A and B are shown apart, each in its own frame.
Chain A
Amino acid sequence: MSSMALKLLKPFGLVEKLNLAALIKALVVPMTGILIFLFIWNIGARNIHTSLGEFPGPAQVYEQSKNLLAEHNRERQKEAAFYQRQDDRNAKKLAKNPDAEIKFRAYTGKATFIDQIGTSLVTVLAGFFAASLIAIPAGIVIGLNKTLYSAFNPVIQLFKPVSPLAWLPLVTMVVSALYVSDDPMFAKSFVTSLITVSLCCLWPTLLNTAVGVSSISADLNNVSKVLRLSWLTHVIKIVIPSAIPMIFTGLRLSLGIAWMVLIAAEMLAQNPGLGKFVWDEFQNGSSNSLGRIMVAVIVIGLIGFMLDRIMLMLQKKVSWDKTQELR
């Protein structure tokens, strides 16, 4: 057998050997966990009776998720039909009179569940990026300077535990007062949500960056001094790379917080997004509402999980310390 073939076969041999154990570990165990959860959920749900009927079990939630998807598709079809009619109308007008004034109007349908997911995702990412853009440089500066660190640490510690709900009224008022323009690029509600998210998720990145930067090994600092690196080169070549693991720890915490905060802010401020969806369903109070809210809960969880996985992937990509186990 050629060595090439051997090389190709080797992994398969390995797979065969590890097959059962690996399969159990990777699939069967988590699946069992999920099944147990579904079972308990099912039993529990049947025994909880609310004013809106029985608490939704897995089956109802699955049903509602299909409904939500169908509603979304119907809404899209309506939208397409609307534009079709408008185009037809305009075409007819033009055919009669080539100089006729024609009107284009945007479709103003109801935002579906899927639309709300999109809105929330865009908002959370924008808020998170805005926060990171401030927190990473600020963290580096504070981390490099002991005096600045002691100066700002009390302020940071003070604002870190503040709930988004406390910020929200203030942010709303400030945005209404300051963000005035005839043709705003972003909706006010978007700006409010974004700022609230940023204010709440700033702190973990800021603190972790500062700690990462200030705990650079003295030896590496000495290398930098002996080489007489300029401040900027020092930061780029030595400070940032060595603080990268801590920066990412902060970023992951921040993104998690951003996502949680956003849902709460959307609920409270009635800003478009998944939070508003949940609130609207709650106000709606139909027999399907609880099931639909439960769908939202699961989707919120899945998205949060997905966001964290994406950050983990990024972290693995930029991490130089391959011995460090990232999870």
Chain B
Amino acid sequence: MTAKTHLELTGVDIDFPTPSGPFKALSNVNLKIERGEFVSLIGHSGCGKSTVLNIVAGLYQATKGGVLLDGKEVNEPGPERAVVFQNHSLLPWLTAYENVELAVKQVFKNSKSKAEMKEWIEHNLQLVHMDHAMHKRPDEISGGMKQRVGIARALAMEPTVMLMDEPFGALDALTRAHLQDSLMEIQADLNNTVIMITHDVDEAVLLSDRIVMMTNGPAATVGEILEVNLERPRHRLELADDAQYNHYRAAVLSFLYEKQRQPGEEVKVSALSEKKTESDKQAQNLHDTEQSSAEQNSEEAA
């Protein structure tokens, strides 16, 4: 095989130093991603999804193994691997426009004129439908809007790979659906490679080409990989009744709640029916338990 893999994680281990000795968060993570692919990472809270993303971003260094991007080893952060942070991470003293500008100036300082930069910033803010509020500061806009600016900032860097850590996690369902649709559109246009962490099974199935399901930590690794062969463009309403879609959904749910069931989790996942109404109800229940278990986990961590 001559064609090189676009992005490749090989045998990635990471040990975090803790007062009580090193803590092995990831063990032997292997993953190959093609150019333009949309990959979701899903797994229980605290299993190491953010850690994987941070290693690809270059913010963490793998203890063993490593990451290759187009044949080059990743060992420091860089704008070709733009990150959309979970809590947007906009600079609070800059307006939406200025936040994107900081990134654009940095990436295109030698290749774009002032006027071109301005156009490019505005274009990217338009992509996420933020052009009407681009001169507002983060504290003057809603959570969903901040997240959109964060996405615009990442897009404006023209990254080879977009890394998104639960980009829609803190948003209400409507805003989330809206942004998911925008993201699908943008990705179809630009054909970026995207790695997205999510807790939301529907989101994973709707957006991804592949869903990477991670086992529970410590020493977490890739458990299963699910290929999602649904026709694009995808429409959430049509898919809601689609048997194939519900099958994928059930597969992810069964991984999370049967195979990787967390101790103490009293969820009965006896019949993951593919009949929409049934599975939907269950999914809702599951979703609730998932969230409460996530909360529980973070409380434990705190």
A322 close to B (CB within 8 Å): yes
A66 interface residue (CB < 8 Å to B): no
Best-buried of A219, A227, A237, A242 by chain B (most CB within 10 Å):
A227
Contacts known (A227-B102, A227-B106, A229-B106); A222 close to B77, Cβ less than 8 A: yes
Query: Taking the complex as formed, is A220 at the interface, i.e. its CB lies under 8 A from any CB of chain B?
Result: yes
Q: How far is the CB of B112 from chain A (nearest CB, A)?
A: 16
Inside 8 A of B82's CB, which chain A residues have their CB?
A: 226
Q: Are B85 and A223 in contact (CB under 8 A)?
A: yes
Residues on A with C-beta less than 8 A from B139 are 321-323
B91 lies within 8 A of chain A by Cβ: yes
Which of A219, A228, A241, A320 is the one whose CB lies under 8 Å from B106?
Answer: A228
> Which residues of chain A (233-255) have a CB below 8 Å from chain B?
233, 237-238, 241-242, 244
CB distance from B72 to the nearest CB of A (A): 15
Is A146's beta carbon under 8 Å from chain B?
A: no
List of A residues within 8 angstroms of B157 by Cβ:
227
Q: How far is the CB of A215 from chain B (nearest CB, A)?
A: 14
Measured CB to CB, the closest approach of chain B to A244, in angstroms, equals 8
The interface bits of chain A over 309-327 (1 if a CB of B lies within 8 angstroms of the residue's CB, else 0) are 0000000000011110000
Query: What's the minimum C-beta distance from B194 to chain A, rounded to whole angstroms?
Result: 16
Binary interface encoding of chain B residues 79-107 relative to chain A, with 1 for a CB under 8 A from any of its CBs, else 0: 10111010101011100000000110011
Residue numbers in B under 8 Å from A233 (CB-CB): 106
Q: Closest chain A residue to B54 by CB distance?
A: A222
B59: Cβ under 8 A from any A Cβ: yes
Whether A222 lies near B83 (C-beta < 8 A) is: yes
Query: Does B29 belong to the interface (CB within 8 Å)?
Result: no
Q: How far is the CA of A77 from the CA of B51 in the complex (A)?
A: 78
What string of 1s and 0s marks CB contacts (under 8 Å) between B101-119 and chain A?
0110011000000000000
B-contact 0/1 string along A192-231, CB 8 Å cutoff? 0000000000000000000000000101101101111100
Interface contact tally, CB-CB below 8 A: 55
By beta carbon, the residue of chain A nearest B104 is A227
Tell me the bound Cα distance from A217 to B139 in angstroms. Answer: 16
Set of chain A residues within 8 Å of B58, measured between Cβ atoms: 225
Nearest CB of B to A213, in Å: 15
A227 vs B157: C-alpha distance when bound (angstroms): 9
Question: Which residue in chain B gives the minimum CB-CB distance to A238?
Answer: B91
Which A residues are CB-close (under 8 A) to B59?
Answer: 222, 225-226
List chain A residues, Cβ under 8 A from B79.
226-228
Indicate whether B78 reaches chain A with its CB closer than 8 angstroms.
yes
CB distance from B166 to the nearest CB of A (A): 13
A14 to B82, CA, bound (A): 50
Mark contacts of B248-265 with chain A using CB atoms, 8 A cut-off: 1 yes-contact digit, 0 otherwise. 000000000000000000
Minimum CB–CB distance for A26 against chain B, Å:
28
Q: B137 in the interface, Cβ–Cβ < 8 Å?
A: yes
Within 8 A of B (CB), among A279-327: 320-323
Of the candidates B76, B85, B103, the one whose C-beta lies within 8 Å of that of A222 is B85
Neighbouring A residues of B102 by C-beta, 8 Å: 227, 237
B106–A222 CB distance below 8 A:
no
Query: In the complex, A114→B139 CA distance in Å?
Result: 47
Whether B195 sits at the interface, judged by CB under 8 Å, is no
In the complex, what distance in Å separates the CA atom of A322 from the CA atom of B138?
Answer: 11
8 A-B pairs with C-beta separation under 8 A: A223-B89, A225-B59, A227-B106, A228-B106, A233-B106, A244-B93, A322-B139, A323-B139
Known: A220-B89, A225-B58. 12 other contacts (CB 8 A): A219-B89, A222-B85, A222-B89, A226-B57, A226-B79, A227-B107, A227-B157, A237-B91, A242-B91, A320-B93, A321-B139, A323-B139
Cβ-closest 8 pairs across A and B: A320-B93, A219-B89, A225-B77, A241-B93, A226-B77, A227-B106, A223-B89, A226-B83
Interface residues of B (CB under 8 A from A): 57-59, 76-79, 81-83, 85, 87, 89, 91-93, 102-103, 106-107, 137, 139, 157
